[in-house]
Amino acid sequence: MSERLRDYEEKRDFIRMNMNSEAVLRINGESFPATCIDLSSTGMRLQTKSPAAIGDLVEVEIGSQHSSLSSFRATATVVRCEPVAGDIQILGLQVEQIL
């Protein structure tokens, strides 16, 4: 497919992996359950019930389903908050540091 025909979403520098994995979102020492929707080397999307707001620095942990692999842990900045329903929101996070 030529570069001109590719959709904007496909022009990312890093591939996004669809995840649908359980995660924990930590904000100011408080933990909230979350679902990681997708993950790339520079960011991720989470669905959660949390008080997160744009600009917040958070920690995310995605547990491993394999005993030989450790959990993925990172600090990230909230760059998008999209309300879904009730108090559920989708967060766009920019990875700052992998822990």
The tens digit of pLDDT for each residue in 51-86 reads 899 999 999 998 777 777 777 889 999 999 999 888
Mean pLDDT along residues 4-31: 70
pTM given for the model: 0.76
Per the structure block, which two tokens stand in for 90? 């989708």
Q: Which residues contact 65 (CB under 8 A, 6 or more apart)?
A: none
Secondary-structure breakdown of the chain: helix, strand, coil percentages, each rounded to the nearest 5: 5, 60, 35
Domain boundary assignment for the chain: 16-98
C-alpha distances in Å from residue 24, one per residue of 10, 13, 59: 28, 26, 8
Q: Which residues contact 95 (CB under 8 A, 6 or more apart)?
A: 41, 42, 43, 44, 74, 75, 76
CATH architecture of 16-98: Beta Barrel (2.40)
pLDDT at residue 5, rounded to an integer = 46
